[in-house]
Structure 1
Amino acid sequence: MPELGKLVAFFDFKDGRDGLLHFSGMTACSETLSVITRRRFCVQATDNTGKPASTTPARDKNKPTLDRYYKSVYFILHDKFWIGHGLVNSDWAKLEEEFNHIGKPSPKPKGIIDSVPFISSGTKLAQLAVLFGLGEPSLGYYNNCEENYDAIKQCRDAMPILDMEKEKDMGSNIYPMISHLRKFQQPPEKATTKSARGSEPRKSQKLEGKENPPRKSLAESPSSLEERLLVAMKREDRVTFFDFKKGSNGLLHFGGMEVTSKTLEFITETRFCVQATQINGRPARNTPAWLKNEPTLSESYNRVYYMLHNKTWIGHDLRKSDFPMLEKECKHIGKSPPRPKEIIDTVPFISSGSKLGKLAVLLGLGKPAARLDCRNCQVNYNAIKKCRDAMPILDVEIEQDKESNMHPMISLIKKYQQPPEEETSILFGHEEETTKRKSPQGKVKDGGVRKSLRLKEASQRLKKKSM
């Protein structure tokens, strides 16, 4: 295989569900994977004459063809090592086809590093790469390239967790994960210019020599929708993920999700943004002028209370951040704050230094969502579900809590919880109590009252001296 060079190119070029062709590409340094330039766009497919294909939906007839962007694509890709998922069998062929249609010379790779052989290898790192999203299509198809890029960087961070040392490429300073991916490459046959569109059979089509298995009816399926809904309707089987923090735009962002405790099956979700308030319940003075029309928590209080009160709470830094802020806002608007039945905070689990805890951070547990602060709760929920899939990869024993019938990851996180002081003052079903201490003789003394009396006496003495 030829030398990698100083620049590599990540790219993805596939058919989208909207009928357009989605391109995303970036040029990066081969040693650090620092991004140098990136480009992404959607174009119409073309026919042999270079005109827009007749299959383009009517609403997208005004979209350009590749002829407008071919210089950018050529600059990003030509004479560089290409890195991506399914490049050999899909993206390269489609790219050549479109360049031929518009009568332009297509970019040629210096070499191709396809992630498909790596993922198909079944190694532990490959299994983690799937959890990180390598090769998984994103909601915006032109984001696939960035998803693969991020997944490869996360795999690099996961190598120490799997006790894998940095791998050098022939004594050079190539990025370790790129060196690792190259080991799985086989010299590919030159991709044909035949379009990859329609090369994969649809799920509804019959495979050669095989028939599609008959679909099970709802009544026959053991995990049918009806059964899941019946489980979801039991309130005692619910747990609530929630997040309540100040966002980058100055508003307070709330996100809450109710899920089943055993399988983490999604039930319902609520998220919104509100203004912070003062003690009198009015909007805070430091709220930006363009956000003065946003509501306060009083308008969404009932939804929050119903979702959180007397439930098991799961989240990141709930004890020190989210719950105190929620309690403060509820008092400002003159409402009683919801009380948890139990709090399961992920901070002790992440801080434990365990392999699964380190991996949870890479999967996004405790990390704020980019520009979507009200979705932090969903990020934590997805990370915990992925951690469950990673437990066999890291040889973590899966234990089911028979008493509480909790999800294995929730049971594991509970083991790291340390009962904080004055826990009874915030849990549901316990009255708030003032902090009391016992004297050596065993008599109970109210420390808070005695301290306030001493301060009052000291202030009176100062007044007498000044007179």
Structure 2
Amino acid sequence: MGEIVFFDVETTAPAGEGRRLQLLEFGAMLVCPRKLTEVESYCTLIRPADLSAVATKRCSGITREAVAAAPTFEEVADRIFGILNGRVWAGHNIQRFDCHRIKEAFADIGRPPPEPKGLIDSLAILTHGFGRRAGDLKMATLASYFGLGQQKHRSLDDVRMNLEVLKNCATVLLLESSLPQVFPNRSLGNLGMVTRSRANGRSCGVEDCRKSPQPASPVIHRASPYKKDNIRKVMERAKEALSSARGAAPLNTLLRHSRSLLR
């Protein structure tokens, strides 16, 4: 099973036609594919070529002064390449945004970009497998739905939140598939979110603004949301069911029964 690296980039805001987004921060977390636990992490601010394009990002604390003292992308490119190359890439809306920004950054310094072994885009997972039961598909909304706190819009914090969101989604889907008489399926649609790629133009599209993601498919499967006062009960029952399993840790049981999510 290939190693999984969850990653996220923060960029300057769109600033008019013809002006490209510039990287301000890169954060990544290497995850054990069997236990979905953090193995190691790396995060760095990045000094863009044009500091005048940097405005203080709301809720993040990334300021012009902070990035002015940061290394350039060229100075951290080797480390980023080593983290990403040859691994399964995972993240929220990375197929349309993050991997394209990485490809651009390496092109700017005249180097070939890292190549993924595969892509796991949680936006595609939630679009086709989880539906709109939690509202829109923004990370901040999903985090609020599962009681994970407020999104900080910092790369490594968002990466860790992304993993927790996926774990919570997997738990709900496990309950619905294992105990349909108790937890009826609230969403229709197929799971199929891993795309094999060689990091070419077909696998990494362009999106003007990642903070308002658009699902890859125009077909939206509507789902009936759980009531807010019931979602905690759902999660607690899941934990109890998993904890009572014999011969396997709760998380391993969850992964075995929800393998379709990570297929």
Give SS of 2:133's match: helix
Contact 1:13–1:21 (CA under 8 A) maintained in structure 2: yes
Residues 106 and 82 of structure 1: CA distance in aligned 2, closer, same or farther (over 3 Å): same
Give SS of 1:159's match: helix
Q: Within 2, Cα distance between the matches of 1:9 and 1:202? A: 21
Report the counterpart of residue 161 of structure 2 in structure 1. Answer: 147
Q: Map residues 11-50 of structure 1 onto 2, 5 A cutoff.
A: 11-16=7-12, 21-45=24-48
Match of 2:69 among 38, 47, 62: 62
Give SS of 1:113's match: strand
Give SS of 2:86's match: coil
Residues 147 and 361 of structure 1: CA distance in aligned 2, closer, same or farther (over 3 Å): farther
Report the counterpart of residue 285 of structure 1 in structure 2. Answer: none
Match of 1:191 among 179, 193, 201: 201
Per the TM alignment, residue 98 of structure 1 is displaced from its structure 2 partner at its CA by 0.8
Q: Structure with the greater relative contact order (CA < 8 A, sep ≥ 6): 1 or 2?
A: 2
Give SS of 1:127's match: coil
Q: When the two structures are aligned, how many residues end up with a matched partner?
A: 186
Q: Which runs of 4+ in 1 moved over 4 A?
A: 128-131, 185-189, 192-197, 200-203
Q: Within 2, Cα distance between the matches of 1:31 and 1:158? A: 19
User: Residue 45 of structure 2 aligns to which amino acid in structure 1?
Assistant: C
Report the counterpart of residue 259 of structure 2 in structure 1. Answer: none
RMSD of Structure 2 on Structure 1 (CA): 4.1
Unpaired runs of 5+ residues, structure 1, are 46-51, 166-179, 204-348, 363-467
Per the TM alignment, residue 359 of structure 1 is displaced from its structure 2 partner at its CA by 3.1
Match of 1:357 among 229, 233, 257: 233
Q: What are the superposed Cα offsets for residues 39-68 of structure 1, whole Å, 9 maximum, x if unpaired? A: 1122123xxxxxx22544453433221122
Residues 195 and 54 of structure 1: CA distance in aligned 2, closer, same or farther (over 3 Å): farther
Report the counterpart of residue 81 of structure 2 in structure 1. Answer: 74
Q: Within 1, Cα distance between the matches of 2:203 and 2:25? A: 18
Unpaired runs of 5+ residues, structure 2, are 14-21, 55-63, 180-188, 213-228, 239-263
Report the counterpart of residue 96 of structure 1 in structure 2. Answer: 103
Q: Within 2, Cα distance between the matches of 1:72 and 1:92? A: 16
Indicate the percent of aligned positions where both proteins have the same amino acid. 18
Per the TM alignment, residue 72 of structure 1 is displaced from its structure 2 partner at its CA by 2.1
Contact 1:97–1:193 (CA under 8 A) maintained in structure 2: no
Q: Which has the higher Rg, Structure 1 or Structure 2?
A: 1
Q: Map residues 415-454 of structure 1 onto 2, 5 A cutoff.
A: none
**TM-score normalised by structure 2 residue count:** 0.56
Q: Map residues 155-304 of structure 1 onto 2, 5 A cutoff.
A: 155-164=169-178, 183-185=192-194, 190-191=200-201, 196=206, 199-200=208-209
